[in-house]
Amino acid sequence: MIPMSRTLESSPNALINKKVLDRYLTLELPENKIQATYIWIDGTDQNIRCKDRTLDFVPKSVKELPIWNYDGSSTYQADGANSDLYLHPVAIYRDPFRRGKHILVLCETYSYDGTPTATNHRKECAEVAAKCADEEPWFGIEQEYTLLDIDGQPLGWPKNGFPGPQGPYYCGVGADKVYGRDVVEAHYRACLFAGVKICGTNAEVMPAQWEFQVGPCVGVSVGDDLWVARFLLHRISEEFGIVATLDPKPMTGDWNGAGAHCNVSTKAMREKGGITAINQAVEKLSKCHEKHIKAYDPNGGKDNERRLTGRHETSSIHDFSAGVAHRGASIRIPRGVADAGCGYFEDRRPSSNCDPYSVVSTILSTISLNK
C-alpha cells in the first residue's frame, strides 16, 4: 500500500514496509559479535560515506579498533591505479539503528604513504586545538538544513508555486507552518542515544528548513559530533524517503539561506570582564576576513557567495562587521553577553555545508595563535 501522504513519484525508500526489517533486527546474535559502521568524509568535503564490518569483541576504546581500507577512486579521493585509502578510527558512538552493543565509528582518511587525504581536516584541527588547550576553547555550532522531497522541491512546498512569504515559519507550530517534524524528532533522539552532544533544535525561517545545535564541546570534539549528527540526519531522512540538504542557498529569491553559525568561548572570555577578551578576538578576526571566508565553505567561499548577500539575516561576504544582537553582522555578540560582560561570540559566516574542523582550526589560529 502506498502511504496516503506520498505519491507514485516518492522515494522507493518511503514505500518499503519497515516492519519486515524488525523480524531480522530482533534476531539473537552470537556472543561478542557486533556490527561496526565506519563513517568518513569523502573527496567533496561535504558528503559522508559508510560501510559495515563485524567485530568479534566489544571495544573499550577507539585504539582497539582496526584500521580499514576502502576504494578512494569511488569517493573522489584517489586514482583507480592507486585506489586504496585507509580509515583510522578516531571516535566511537552508539548505534541508534541497531542498538545493543553495535557502534558507529568516525574515521580520519589517509593515503597509502600515511599522509592525510586532502579532505582530512581533522588532523590539523586536532593539532591546532592541542596548542590552545590551556585556553579551554568551547565551541557550539548551529547547523541549519533543508528537507527536500525526492524531486528536489522543499518538503511541503506547492509543486507549481511557492508557499506564503517568510514570517510564520520560524519556531512555528501547525501543519500549515512546519514540514517534516517527524524527521527532526527522530534525529534528535538518535543523536542523544548515540552520544552526540546535541543541545536543541527548532524550525527555521524558510518553510522546510530546520536547525539543530551541537555543543558546547571542547576543541576538535565539536567537529566529531557535528559530522556524526550529519550522518544520522542523512541516514534517518533516507528511511523517510526524504533528502536533507546542507546547501547554503537551496532556494533563490526572497528566502533565507542556511548557515552553521559558530559560537566561540575561551576561558578568558567566560571569566568576569571577559568582554575584553571577546573584543580582542573580534579585532583579530576583522583583520583576517578573507582567510575565514575561504575556510568557511568547502568551495573556498563560492557557496557562501549565494548566501552572504547582506540580506536575509546575513552580512555581506565582502565586508567584515560586528555588533551586539546584530544578526546582519559577521560577528554577533549576544545581548546577554554584553550585559553580563563575559561569555562568547557568534561567528555567523560559516556556511551550512562547512567542514567544522576547518572552521575551528581557522578561528583558533586567528584568535589564539595569531596566525
Is residue 165 domain-resident? yes
pLDDT for res 11: 84
CATH number at residue 146: 3.30.590.10
Question: Do 264 and 169 share a structural domain?
Answer: yes
Q: What is the mean pLDDT of residues 58-80?
A: 96
**Are both 51 and 157 inside the same structural domain?**
no
* Length of the chain measured in residues: 371
Question: Residue 9 — pLDDT band, cuts 50, 70, 90?
Answer: low
Band of residue 311 on the pLDDT scale cut at 50, 70, 90: very high
Point out the domain boundary residue: 66, 88, 119. 119
Under the banding of pLDDT at 50, 70 and 90, the label for residue 223 is very high
Pair (73, 140) in one structural domain: no
Q: Are residues 152 and 194 in the same domain?
A: yes
Percent with pLDDT over 70 in the chain:
98
- 356 and 210 within one domain: yes
pLDDT at 15: 84
Expressed as residue numbers, the domain containing 242 is 129-367
Domain membership of residue 278 (yes or no) is yes
Q: What is the pLDDT of residues 50-68, one digit of tens each?
A: 999 999 999 999 999 999 9
Mean pLDDT along residues 73-85: 95
Model confidence at 10, pLDDT cuts 50, 70, 90, reads: confident
Average pLDDT over residues 71-84: 95
Q: Which pLDDT value is given to residue 133?
A: 96
The contacts of residue 120 (CB under 8 Å, 6+ apart) are 41, 108, 109, 110
Return the percentage of the chain with pLDDT > 90, whole number.
Answer: 91
Model confidence band, residue 340 (pLDDT cutoffs 50, 70, 90): very high
pLDDT at position 5, please? 47
Give the model's pLDDT for residue 361. Answer: 98
Inside any domain, residue 20: no
What is the pLDDT, as a whole number, of residue 110?
98
Q: How many domains does the chain have?
A: 2
Calculate mean pLDDT across residues 287-311.
96
pLDDT at residue 8 greater than cutoff 90: no
Question: For 286-304, what is the mean pLDDT?
Answer: 96
What is the C-alpha to C-alpha distance for residues 254 and 245, in angstroms, rounded to an integer? Answer: 19
Residue 3 confidence (pLDDT) above 70: no
Query: Average pLDDT of 69-89?
Result: 96
- Of the candidates 101, 119, 137, which is a domain's last residue? 119
In a domain, residue 19? The reply is no
Does the N-terminal peptide bond of residue 216 adopt cis geometry, omega within 30 degrees of 0? yes
Do residue 147 and residue 110 come from a single domain?
no
Per-residue DSSP letter, 218: E
- How do residues 244-276 score in pLDDT, each as one tens digit? 999 999 999 999 999 999 999 999 999 999 999
50, 177: one domain: no
Residue 84 forms part of a structural domain: yes
100 belongs to a structural domain: yes
Q: What is the mean pLDDT of residues 109-133?
A: 97
Read off the CATH number of the domain in which 86 is found: 3.10.20.70
Residue-level pLDDT at 30: 93
Instruction: Please say which residue of 71, 98, 119 terminates a domain.
Output: 119
Ranges of H-type helices in the chain: 12-15, 19-25, 122-131, 181-194, 221-240, 267-270, 275-286, 289-295, 302-305, 335-340, 356-367
Give me the sheet containing 84-94, strands edge to edge. Answer: 48-55, 34-41, 103-110, 84-94, 68-71
